[in-house]
Structure 1
Amino acid sequence: MPTAKVPAAMITAPGSGQGKSMVSAALARLHRNAGLNVRVFKHGPDYLDPMVLEVASGNPVYQLHPWMTGEGECRWRLAEAAQTADLILVEGSMGLFDGSPSSGDLAKLAGIPALPVIDAKGMAQTFGAVAYGLAHFDPELPVHQVIANKIGSAYHGQLLADSLPEGIDLLGAIPRNDAMDIPDRHLGLVQANELSDLSDRLDQAAEVLKAAGLDTLPKPVELSAEPPAAVEQLLAGRRIAIARDAAFSFLYRANLDLLEAMGAELCYFSPLVDTELPEADALWLPGGYPELHAATLAANMPMLEAIRAFHQMDKPVLAECGGLMACTETLVDKEGAEHALLGLLPGCATMAGRLKALGLQSLDTNLGDLRGHTYHHSTLDTPWQPVARTRKQAGSEGEAVYRQGALTASYFHGYFPSAPALVAAIFRGESFTVTHSPSQ
């Protein structure tokens, strides 16, 4: 793949809650509205921010994470985008140096500068100290500009600009504005398709950024990489039905791309409104928000019966996180109401008052190590014993993995391109050997 030069930046922050997600989306919309082809990527495992970023940019959004997706894939996706993009933005996760590998590590790997968004509310000269720290913590990571967010006045913005040390400029100072807010809930931002006025909100936010002087492009960087090897046609002739609606929506584009690259035909259905399954050889129930729609799911008896019949035919079913919750006999929502669901997995999933699991994990097998993550606010009570547990990035045991017949269920969300042969085996209903087993 030839080298291409394109303006690019890692939109990051000193920590979570600084406003980088909305700034990333508004920047994408601002430059898209100016006629540019904008490509946006997201550092780390995240389903919700990319939904908003896709609406903002008008282009598909992929995850980049040197551990989960692999360093080679990170370089390749950026280099591929650079062939046609006028601007590349990468939204970081957490703070610039948080996690391993961090957003800063990805920026260094890709060779793009970091552009921190700093919440300046209640801050004056200390703004310069924060910017200085971010710029000098890692000498190998370039930080030439910063963005001030939530300023109170033009005078406030000038104080912030004057506080910056030599070599760091204030790209723009964003005033407090309702247009820069998007509702959220326990797993993060509200899903993009739940906000009927999202596009209008993004246009308004883009105008706020334009008035703040943020319509200047970052400096161009050179991006190049070797394309990945072609995958084997391990799913040729297989048709996979995928649940996709407001209750089941946590789908990486890269996962869908891989299934198609392996020869699978994908078809989609809604467990909320459809009454029958499409003709298929395998079924995928991905993560999402089944707890918010449990009453509707429980009331759709024709769909419940269709999925039960599919499972009884011993056809492969993959249930991830929210999909696992839907497979239980009972789901208890956050109000304490009980809902009778599929019953493919005995027991009960119960919403908890706090986060129960978070972090990067992998399922290690003879067919490859499937990398991914976990993030959920519910607990599972089941008599089934797991056939395996994932391994946390730090090495300790992670989520339980249940296999009974052709059903594979876990709270674990897998990034399919990390282990294509294993993914194919799951969707073909074939066995594999786990090399990281549960403790006895």
Structure 2
Amino acid sequence: MIHHAPALLIAAPASGQGKTTVTAALARLHARQGRRVRVFKCGPDFLDPHWHTLASGHPVHNLDLWLNGEDDLRARLHEAAAHSDLILIEGVMGLFDGDPSAADLAVKLGIPVLAVIDAGSMAGTFGALVHGLRHYRPGLPWAGVLANRVASDGHESMLRASVRADYLGPGPVDGLAGVDTGWLGALRRDAGFALPERHLGLTVASELPDALERLDALADALADTPLGRLDAAGWQRWAVPFAPVPPRPVAPLLRGRTVAVARDAAYCFTYPANLDTLRELGAELAFFSPLADDPLPPCDAVWLPGGYPELHAPALAAGTRCRAALAAHVAAGRPVWAECGGMMPLFDGLTLADGARVPMWGLLPGEVAMQKRLAALGPQRWCTPQGELRGHTFHYSLTASPLAPLAHTEPARAHGKAEAVYGQGSVRASYFHAWFPSNPEATAQLFLPEAP
């Protein structure tokens, strides 16, 4: 059955324009009004979804034509449309950046684009940017533009005047006579609206005690724009049909097995879709916190996802119960899959950006050192005996180990660098962030003991 739901893809000419801010504000505004809002994020991203989950009250899944595959992507949107009043998709980088880009997704699925443009240092050029974004790609569905970081009412008037009426679309917004469909409002420049950042991206929402208050302030500001004043009928102009996709059978290869998953401020890079895949494979999930020095729960395998071990290195190093439990788990030959930040504490030491070395857990030989610049970024594939497992890499550290890698991932783009997959005993570890739904069979092997 085809489900229809209003949907927008929130994009921009570049990173840092305010896509996450506007997406989260829209989600919060409508969730406060009792509407069921589902938010998605284009591309492999762990941090923006934390804010969107807080704003919408629902898990946030990632959408990427290469990472997910088109069937998986369509299935997630169809399921969301069946239970939602509104679907919001935050783009990645600039609208046309990447291969595939956010524009590719918008065109393929027929989802209208809302452009967010930082207008802080421009006036008439704003209209040229709007025109270029709208017409650069033939067939791009278009909703309109929202100006961000606007200085004053006069500045807003100049920006709106720069958006020529003959580019604006089929007429006034429903219920808002005289308002062009291309101009959807402006948000003022206000330091209180900024979502705080650090290396890797936004600060995780759960770490800020005033995170919800920040979102409420953003939602209040957005409510005073033409976009924010749209009622349910007005949103129907952006309704999109989402067709069903035949379900993918998943063999219960992990039935009867418990996977312990690290989850806290140091281990917070976990796709909800990965957890869903483990459950589809039949696994029971048990969560624990290395930061709290939790011992391992009773389990057959352990997953150490990525995160920020470098921000919590002394606390992780001081924990003895968790380290001892992991060591006993490995000594018993039970599997451990550690990715990126989850891998880093397994080595002998971690050197922080200020040069201080923190002794770590010593479950793998070698040293990890934080860098001042990004060390690797981009999509990756791991060609396993069970087929291709897709994922990505994104890290600021480098690892030196005497271990000979068991395998290497392959970059999906020409300029990328392969990532080593390390192994010792029952431990498998890499900077590679796996997207489990891309190959459930290969995923299951990460959590099964090797055949004798």
Superposition TM-score, scaled by structure 2 size: 0.93
Find the aligned partners of 2:450 and 2:41 in 1 and give their Cα distance. Answer: 33
Pick aligned residue for 1:192 from 205, 208, 211? 205
Distance 1:34 1:356 in 2: 43
Aligned to 1:310: 329
369-378 or 152-161: bigger deviation: 152-161
Asked if 1:408 is matched to 2:421, the reply is no
C-alpha contact (below 8 Å) 2:378/2:413 kept by paired residues: no
Q: Matched residues in 2 for 1:179 and 1:7: separation?
A: 29
Match of 2:33 in 1: 34
Say if 2:450 is the partner of 1:430: yes
Report the counterpart of residue 178 of structure 1 in structure 2. 191
Task: Summarize the alignment of residues 91-110 of structure 1 with structure 2, pairs less than 5 Å apart.
Answer: 91-110=90-109
> Do the aligned residues in 2 keep the contact of 1:174 with 1:209 (CA within 8 Å)?
yes
C-alpha separation between the residues in 2 aligned to 1:224 and 1:272? 43
Deviation, 1:178, is 2.8
Give, as a single letter, the amino acid of the residue that structure 2 aligns with 1:56: A
- Which letter does structure 1 place at the counterpart of 2:189? R
* Distance of 1:275 and 1:129 partners within structure 2: 56
Q: For residue 9 of structure 1, report the CA deviation from its aligned partner.
A: 0.5
User: Are residues 1:124 and 2:144 paired?
Assistant: no
Gaps of 5+ in 1: 432-440
Give the count of matched residue pairs. Answer: 430
In 2, Cα distance between equivalents of 1:275 and 1:152: 50
Q: Deviations over 1:355-405 (max 9, x none)?
A: 000001110122021111100000101111112111111256511111222
Residue 253 (structure 1) aligned with residue 272 (structure 2): yes
Give the aligned CA root-mean-square deviation in angstroms: 1.2
* Equivalent in the alignment of 2:220: 207
How far apart are 1:167 and its partner, in Å?
2.8
1:296-321 CA deviation, whole Å, 9 max, x = no partner?
01111121111111111111000100
Aligned with 1:287 (options 306, 314, 328): 306
Give the structure 2 partner of residue 434 of structure 1. none
> Is residue 24 from structure 1 mapped to residue 23 from structure 2 by the alignment?
yes
Name which of 202, 222, 233 aligns with 2:252.
Answer: 233
Question: Where does structure 1 differ by over 3 angstroms across 4 or more consecutive aligned residues?
Answer: none
Paired residue secondary structure (1:322)? helix
Match of 1:159 in 2: 158
1:340 equivalent in alignment to 2:350: no
* Residue deviations 1:154-193 (CA, integer Å, cap 9, x gap): 1111111111132321111111123321111101000111
1:74 aligns with 2:93: no
Which stretch has the larger CA shift, 256-265 or 360-369? 360-369
Q: Which moved more, 1:394-403 or 1:348-357?
A: 394-403
Structure 1 counterpart of 2:418, which letter?
G
Say if 2:376 and 2:417, in contact at 8 Å, map to a contact too. Answer: no
CA distance, structure 2, for counterparts of residue 241 and residue 80 of structure 1: 28
| Residue number in structure 2 paired with 1:435 | none
Answer yes or no: is the 8 Å Cα contact 2:293–2:320 preserved in 1: no
Is residue 74–residue 110 contact of structure 1 (8 Å, CA) maintained in 2? no
- Cα contact 1:276–1:303 (8 A) shared by 2: yes
For 1:119 and 1:47, the matched residues in 2 are separated by 24
Residue equivalent to 1:438 = none
* 3-state SS in 1 of match to 2:348: strand
The one-letter code of the counterpart of 1:96 is L
Match 2:392 to one of 373, 378, 397: 373
Give the distance between the partners of 2:449 and 2:43, measured in 1 at CA: 29
Does residue 223 (structure 1) correspond to residue 236 (structure 2)? The answer is no
Task: Kindly indicate whether the alpha-carbon contact (under 8 Å) linking 2:266 and 2:309 is maintained by their aligned counterparts in 1.
Answer: yes
Q: Is the 8 A contact 1:134 1:143 kept in 2?
A: no
Equivalent position amino acid for 1:206 in 2: A
Identical pairs, percent: 50
Shift of 1:350: 0.5
Shifted more, 373-382 versus 222-231: the winner is 222-231
**1:305-338 C-alpha deviation (Å, 9 max, x unpaired):** 1111111111100010011101101011122221
In 2, distance between residues paired with 1:174 and 1:212?
A: 8
Residue of structure 2 aligned with 1:297, choices 316, 341, 349:
316
Q: Which runs of 5+ in 2 are unaligned?
A: 169-181
Residue 140 (structure 1) aligned with residue 153 (structure 2): no
Given candidates 348, 351, 355, the residue that maps to 2:370 is 351
Partner amino acid for 1:228?
P
